[in-house]
């Protein structure tokens, strides 16, 4: 095992992909000389050169479209969009082009494109840089939506995504980039499309992903000291949802709390709740509950941002109420 940060793990995944396949290249705003807005690509320009680490103009629609064209032409582009908020400028390219080519071509044209972007709040970057919109993208057929919360997934999801013949979006929680942890020396590609049970319990299922996953793990540790044992499930992939994993957990614990940094209305948590109600209603001893971000533009002030986001204390209090009444 070795110690490194989430940012380092992302960089290792990028380096491995560039070394393994000469068709792979990275493009986006400030990914080259600056080393990436979050320093995830620092040093890669010097290692691989400007043909494979390409700085782009500040035009998300343009370079995302160029990535789609490169993928159709046989390359394996990795497009980095600085933050999820900016991806809305490329939504036409993502939804109306990348996600639909295979269907509209009658199965003739795949788009092996990977788009990476930072997501979520917690870094005081205010409303135009801090929202969690990955749940929106999980609504779109034709793409896969990944959200690595661990160093293992930050390191290993990229290569698996590049092997997929269709578009894959990877949402990296911005607040996790400096997170330190341990990673195996021989860490490599990981399976995508499957959730993972990170902690096992009998009283309640905590279902989450991304940065909120770590809040759930912290809450679970506090609750365990009180005798409340929870399953903690890392969804990992939001499209397709691995519903078998969380339905199996609910069948065991008979209670479910979904923690989602997105807004509550129309959220991925609403989709998960609906699937539990549709397929596991008679397994429940209490209604499914959700903790989401406040339905406001993300505040800049630290205390207001913290108030807007799900927090460990609210998870702990909700679980206590659900278990004890």
Residue 165, exposed/middle/buried by CB under 10 A (0-12, 13-18, 19+)? exposed
How remote is the C-alpha of 210 from its chain's centroid? 5
Catalytically active residues are: 60, 129
* Contact present, 74 and 113 (Cβ < 8 Å): no
Mapped onto helix, strand or coil, the DSSP state of residue 75 is coil
The Cα 1–Cα 71 span in angstroms is 35
What lies within 8 Å, CB to CB, of 258 at 6+ separation is 207, 208, 269, 272, 273, 288, 289, 290, 291
CB 64 within 8 A of CB 34: no
DSSP secondary structure letters along 235-251: --EEETT-HHHHHHHHH
């Amino acid at each position: 095992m070795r110690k490194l940060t989430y940012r380092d793990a992302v960089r290792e995944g990028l380096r491995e992909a560039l070394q393994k396949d000469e068709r792979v290249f990275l493009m986006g705003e400030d990914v080259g000389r600056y080393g990436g807005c979050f320093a995830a690509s620092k040093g890669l320009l010097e290692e691989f050169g400007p043909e494979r680490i390409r700085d782009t103009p500040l035009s998300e629609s343009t370079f995302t479209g160029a990535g789609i064209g490169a993928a159709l032409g046989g390359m394996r582009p990795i497009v980095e969009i600085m933050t999820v908020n900016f991806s809305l400028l490329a939504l036409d390219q993502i939804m109306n082009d990348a996600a639909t080519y295979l269907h509209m071509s009658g199965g003739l044209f795949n788009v092996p494109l990977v788009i990476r972007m930072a997501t979520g709040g917690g870094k005081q970057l205010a409303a135009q840089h801090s929202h969690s919109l990955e749940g929106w993208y999980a609504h779109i057929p034709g793409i896969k939506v990944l959200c690595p919360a661990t160093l293992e997934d930050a390191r290993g999801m990229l290569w698996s995504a590049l092997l997929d013949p269709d578009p894959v979006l990877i949402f990296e929680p911005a607040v996790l980039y400096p997170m330190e942890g341990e990673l195996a020396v021989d860490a490599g590609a990981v399976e995508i499309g499957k959730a993972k049970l990170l902690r096992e319990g009998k009283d309640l299922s905590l279902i989450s992903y991304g940065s909120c996953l770590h809040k759930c793990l912290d809450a679970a540790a506090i609750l365990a000291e009180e005798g409340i044992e929870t399953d903690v499930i890392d969804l990992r992939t939001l499209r397709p949802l691995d519903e078998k994993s969380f339905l199996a957990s609910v069948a065991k614990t008979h209670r479910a709390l979904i923690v989602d940094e997105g807004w509550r209305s129309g959220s991925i948590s609403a989709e998960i709740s609906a699937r539990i109600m549709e397929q596991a209603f008679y397994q429940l001893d209490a209604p499914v509950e959700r903790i989401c971000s406040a339905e406001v533009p993300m505040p800049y002030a630290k205390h207001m941002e913290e108030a807007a986001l799900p927090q460990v204390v609210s998870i702990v209090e909700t679980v206590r109420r659900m278990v004890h009444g």
